C-alpha cells in the first residue's frame, strides 16, 4: 500500500538513534489484563448494536485464545524491510512469535508484495470477495468495502477490548481518525494513526550557498525567486560554471519531496497530495479546492516565469523523485520544498559526498508575511476485519499488543519490537511485520521539544519517553550540543549523526514544524469524511487533469491566461459535483 514517504526514515535513522518509536504522551499505563485464557468468540463480526445503547462489559484486552486461533492477513513492505534479519521471515519474527505465545493467535500471511503493488493486488481480492481476516486499506477501498457490506462492524468489540493505552493513542488526534472510520454511527475500521503535523511543508536550502553569495534566508516569495535566480546565475558552488538550478521540481508536482505544496502555500493556495486533496474554507465559509482558486493561478504564473528564466530544470516533467534526488546529491540544486524526513533521504548522501554541503530547513516564505502551511489528515490508511470473521476482537487485541510492546511508556516496552532482534547492534523496521501498527500523532514534535529542553538543562529527565534511557540518543545530543553554538553538522556534528540532529535538534526540521504549531500557522483540512460518490468515480481523472495542465502552464505550453478555462473543465468533469457533495457533508456536521 502506498504510504507517505517519511516512513522511509525509520530504517535509516534508527541505526544511529531510536527516534520514531510510537508512544503516548500521557502518564497513564496500558491495561495489561490478567494471566487467564479466553475461549474463541462465536461472534460473526456483523455487529449492529451500538456501544452507546447498552453498558459495555469490558473484557481482557490481552486475553489469550485457548485453543489457538488462526488469523489471516496480507502485507506489503518497502524494499528495505523485505530484507529480513537472519532467522526471520514474514511468518516468523518477533511479532508472530509474540502473537502465538501471548495472545494465542497464529498469524498467516496469505501474500507479501512490495508497497507499490499492494493496492492493485488488494483490489483484485476485493473484486473477487476473497478477503483475509485483517487487512490495511485506503479511504477509497474502505468506502467500497463498507458500501458493499464486506467488513465487520467493530463498534462493540473495540469498546469491549481496547486497552487504556489504545484508547489514549486512538483519541490523541481529537478523535478525527475514529470519525473517519465511522459510518452511520458504526466503527467499521481501526484508523492507522500517524504524525499529526508530519506533512507540513519545509523549505530546504543550501545555507553555504546563501553565505557564498551574501544572501539572507528568504521570507517572502519575491525573496525566494531572487534567491533562485542567484543560485542559477551567480555560481553559488564556486566552480566557475553555470551548472546549478535555484529550485528542484519533480514530475508529480505535489505530495512529498521536490514538489510545490509549500510554494503554493506561499500564495495561500492549499493543495494536498494525489489521493488526498485538501479542502479548506473560502472567504464565504464554503469548502473550496485550492487547485482551482485564483491564488493557484498566481503561483503558476510565477513558476512559469521561473521556468522560462532557467531557475528550474528544463526536463523536470520527465524526472521522478529518484532522478531529482541525484541532482541534489550532485550539487546541482540550491533549494527544494519537502518534508521533515528529507534529512533521511536524499540529504545524507549529499552531506556524505560533500561534508561542506550545509542543507538547512526553513519555514516557507509567503507573499504577505502570513504563513498558512497545509497539513494532511494524520490518517490515510485503515485496518479492517472482513465480515463474518469468527474472532473480530483479535484485531483489537493485536492493536493492544502492538502498543504494549512498541510504546516506551508501556511496562513491557521492548525496543527490539520496533528495531529488530539484533537491536541495538543492528536496526531494522521490525514494527512493519505486525499486521496492525499505529503511532502517536504528537510523537515527533515531543521528541524535538525534549531535545531542545535537554540543550538548556543537560538533564535527561527532560527528554521525551521515546529517548529516556537510550544512550544512543544521549550521545547524539552531547555530540550536537558540543558543536559550536549547537548548530548541527556545519558547527561540529559528525556526518554519521547529521540526519538525527537535523531532524529533531534545535535547528532541525522539527524546529520548523514546532514554529508552525506554536504560531498557529498550520491549516488543518476541514473535510475528513469518506470519499463522496463523485470522488470515487472521478477524482483520479480530475487529478490527471490538474497534473497535465499545471505542467503545461509551468512550461509555457499553455498560457496562464487559460487558467479560467482549465477551471471550467475541472468543474464540468466532476469538480463542481464534488464541491457540492463536500459542502453538503459540511452542512450535515
Q: State pLDDT tens for residues 522-552.
A: 998 899 888 899 998 999 999 999 999 999 9
Residue 464 belongs to a domain: no
Per-residue confidence band for 337, with pLDDT thresholds at 50, 70 and 90: very high
CA separation for the pair 78, 8 (Å, rounded):
8
Number of domains in the chain: 1
Torsions phi, psi of 258, nearest 5? 60, 40
Q: Residue 309: which CATH number?
A: 3.40.190.10
- Residue 123 is predicted with a pLDDT of 95
State the helix-helix crossing angle for 533-555 and 576-588, rounded to 10 degrees.
130
**Cβ neighbours of 281 (radius 10 Å):** 13
The domain containing residue 549 runs over which residues? 202-374+532-588
Residue 128 belongs to a domain: no
Per-residue confidence band for 165, with pLDDT thresholds at 50, 70 and 90: very high
- Residue 12 is predicted with a pLDDT of 35
- Residue 356 is predicted with a pLDDT of 87
Burial of 124 (0-12, 13-18, 19+ CB in 10 A): exposed
- pLDDT per residue as tens digits for the range 478-518: 777 765 444 444 445 667 778 888 898 888 999 999 999 99
Nearest to 497 by CA among 374, 395, 380, 351: 351
Give the contacts of 360 (CB within 8 A, at least 6 positions apart): 204, 205, 207, 488, 502, 507
Question: Does the structure show a pLDDT above 90 at 284?
Answer: yes
Residue 8 belongs to a domain: no
CA separation for the pair 520, 511 (Å, rounded):
14
Question: Does the structure show a pLDDT above 80 at 49?
Answer: no
Per-residue confidence band for 574, with pLDDT thresholds at 50, 70 and 90: very high
Residue 266 belongs to a domain: yes
Per-residue confidence band for 589, with pLDDT thresholds at 50, 70 and 90: confident
- Residue 81 is predicted with a pLDDT of 82
Handedness of CA 132, 138, 144, 147 (dihedral sign): positive
Question: Does the structure show a pLDDT above 70 at 138?
Answer: yes
Residue 174 belongs to a domain: no
- pLDDT per residue as tens digits for the range 249-265: 999 999 989 999 999 99
Nearest to 17 by CA among 486, 510, 488, 466: 466
State the helix-helix crossing angle for 294-308 and 533-555, rounded to 10 degrees.
30
- pLDDT per residue as tens digits for the range 79-106: 778 889 889 999 999 999 999 999 999 9
Residue 325 belongs to a domain: yes
Residue 347 belongs to a domain: yes
Residue 56 belongs to a domain: no
DSSP letters for 316-385: GGG--HHHHHHHHHTT-BSEEEE-GGGGTTTHHHHHHH-TT--EEEEPPPBSSS---EE---S--EEEEE
- pLDDT per residue as tens digits for the range 384-430: 999 999 999 999 999 999 999 998 778 898 989 988 898 877 878 89
Q: Coil, strand or helix: which one is 170? A: helix
Burial 100-109 (b: 16+ CB within 10 A, else e): eebbbbebeb
Amino acid at each position: 500500500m502506498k504510504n507517505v514517504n517519511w516512513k522511509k526514515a525509520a530504517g535509516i535513522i534508527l541505526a544511529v538513534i531510536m527516534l520514531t518509536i510510537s508512544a503516548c504522551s500521557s502518564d497513564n499505563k496500558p491495561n495489561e489484563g490478567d494471566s487467564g485464557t479466553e475461549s474463541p468468540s462465536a461472534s460473526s463480526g456483523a455487529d449492529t448494536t451500538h456501544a452507546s445503547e447498552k453498558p459495555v462489559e469490558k473484557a481482557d484486552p490481552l486475553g489469550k485464545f485457548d485453543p489457538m486461533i488462526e488469523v489471516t492477513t496480507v502485507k506489503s513492505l518497502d524494499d528495505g524491510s523485505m530484507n529480513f534479519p537472519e532467522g526471520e521471515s514474514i511468518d516468523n519474527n518477533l511479532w508472530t512469535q509474540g502473537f502465538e505465545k501471548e495472545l494465542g493467535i497464529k498469524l498467516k500471511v496469505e501474500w507479501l508484495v512490495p508497497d507499490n503493488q499492494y493496492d492493485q493486488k488488494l483490489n483484485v481480492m476485493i473484486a473477487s470477495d476473497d478477503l483475509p481476516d485483517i487487512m490495511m486499506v485506503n479511504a477509497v477501498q474502505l468506502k467500497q468495502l463498507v458500501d458493499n457490506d464486506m467488513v465487520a462492524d467493530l463498534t462493540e468489540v473495540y469498546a469491549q477490548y481496547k486497552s487504556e493505552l489504545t484508547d489514549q493513542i486512538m483519541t490523541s488526534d481529537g478523535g478525527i481518525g475514529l470519525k473517519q472510520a465511522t459510518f452511520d454511527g458504526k466503527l467499521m475500521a481501526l484508523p492507522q494513526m500517524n504524525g499529526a503535523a508530519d506533512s507540513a511543508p519545509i523549505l530546504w536550502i543550501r545555507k553555504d550557498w546563501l553565505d557564498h553569495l551574501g544572501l539572507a534566508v528568504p521570507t517572502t516569495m519575491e525573496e525566494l525567486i531572487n534567491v533562485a535566480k542567484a543560485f542559477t546565475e551567480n555560481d553559488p558552488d564556486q566552480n566557475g560554471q553555470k551548472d546549478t538550478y535555484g529550485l528542484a521540481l519533480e514530475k508529480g508536482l505535489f505530495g512529498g519531496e521536490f514538489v510545490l505544496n509549500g510554494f503554493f502555500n506561499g500564495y495561500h493556495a492549499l493543495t494536498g497530495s494525489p489521493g488526498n486533496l485538501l479542502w479548506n474554507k473560502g472567504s464565504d465559509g464554503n469548502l473550496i479546492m485550492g487547485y482551482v482558486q485564483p491564488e493557484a493561478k498566481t503561483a503558476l504564473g510565477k513558476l512559469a516565469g521561473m521556468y522560462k528564466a532557467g531557475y528550474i530544470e528544463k526536463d523536470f516533467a520527465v524526472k521522478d523523485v529518484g532522478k531529482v534526488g541525484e541532482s541534489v546529491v550532485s550539487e546541482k540544486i540550491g533549494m527544494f520544498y519537502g518534508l521533515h524526513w528529507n534529512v533521511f533521504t536524499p540529504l545524507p548522501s549529499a552531506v556524505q559526498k560533500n561534508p561542506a554541503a550545509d542543507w538547512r530547513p526553513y519555514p516557507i516564505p509567503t507573499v504577505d508575511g502570513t504563513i498558512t502551511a497545509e497539513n494532511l489528515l494524520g490518517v490515510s490508511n485503515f485496518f479492517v476485519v472482513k465480515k463474518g470473521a469468527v474472532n473480530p476482537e483479535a484485531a483489537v487485541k493485536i492493536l493492544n499488543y502492538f502498543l504494549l510492546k512498541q510504546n516506551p511508556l508501556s511496562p513491557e516496552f521492548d525496543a527490539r519490537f520496533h528495531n529488530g532482534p539484533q537491536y541495538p547492534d543492528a536496526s531494522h523496521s521490525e514494527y512493519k511485520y505486525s499486521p496492525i501498527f499505529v503511532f502517536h500523532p504528537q510523537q515527533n514534535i515531543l521528541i524535538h521539544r525534549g531535545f531542545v529542553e535537554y540543550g538548556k538543562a543537560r538533564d535527561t529527565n527532560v527528554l521525551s519517553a521515546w529517548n529516556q534511557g537510550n544512550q544512543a540518543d544521549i550521545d547524539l545530543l552531547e555530540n550536537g550540543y558540543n558543536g559550536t553554538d549547537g548548530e548541527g553538522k556545519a558547527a561540529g556534528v559528525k556526518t554519521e549523526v547529521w540526519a538525527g540532529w537535523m531532524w529533531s535538534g534545535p535547528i532541525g526540521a522539527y524546529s520548523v514544524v514546532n514554529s508552525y504549531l506554536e504560531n498557529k500557522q498550520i491549516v488543518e483540512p476541514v473535510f475528513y469524511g469518506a470519499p463522496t460518490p463523485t470522488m470515487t468515480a472521478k477524482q483520479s481523472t480530475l487529478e490527471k487533469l490538474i497534473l497535465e495542465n499545471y505542467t503545461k502552464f509551468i512550461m509555457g505550453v499553455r498560457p496562464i491566461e487559460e487558467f479560467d478555462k482549465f477551471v471550467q473543465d475541472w468543474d464540468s468533469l466532476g469538480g463542481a459535483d464534488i464541491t457540492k457533495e463536500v459542502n453538503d457533508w459540511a452542512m450535515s456536521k
